[in-house]
Structure 1
Amino acid sequence: MDATTFVVVPNPSKDKFEILFQNELLEEATYEVYNLLGQKVKHDKLEDTKEYVLNLNEAANGTYLMKINNGSSEEIKRIIINRK
């Protein structure tokens, strides 16, 4: 499975993002969320799922980079937290 076939909605969001994969993950993958200073703010494993809810309620307003990696491929998407 190609880890790059996913979307993140809604974007921007106040705190919760849904990661929707085109196909169900059949192998273990990981996600990492970084602020624009390069600091990792959240990470976890993903497996046997077609969707995942990412809760960033403790993160400050701003732009973040989310990387999903399944060992053979990875993709980075920009996500925005805006609570205004």
Structure 2
Amino acid sequence: MPSAPTLTDGVVTIRGHLPGDADGSFEQCQDPLSQRWTTVPVPYSRDDARVFVTEIMPGGWAEDTEWGFAIEVEGRYAGTVSLRNE
């Protein structure tokens, strides 16, 4: 099963999602602008965040339909970027 590679320039790292990213995903998705311009469900629960980082993002790589990366800055989750096969 393919998984996200880790890429870094020494400042910003993009990598596969980890279970520990769920809290950051939850916090980010409470922002009204994130809700407006992305496809997150509203309301977005902690369980939604857990499923997102442990099932949806890895599943996209496994099914070759979405290639999602966690963005990490200074060792902390800072968001998600992904490409979709649509």
Task: Please report the TM-score for the alignment, with normalisation by the length of structure 2.
Answer: 0.28
Return the structure number with greater helix share. 2
Task: Please report the TM-score for the alignment, with normalisation by the length of structure 1.
Answer: 0.28
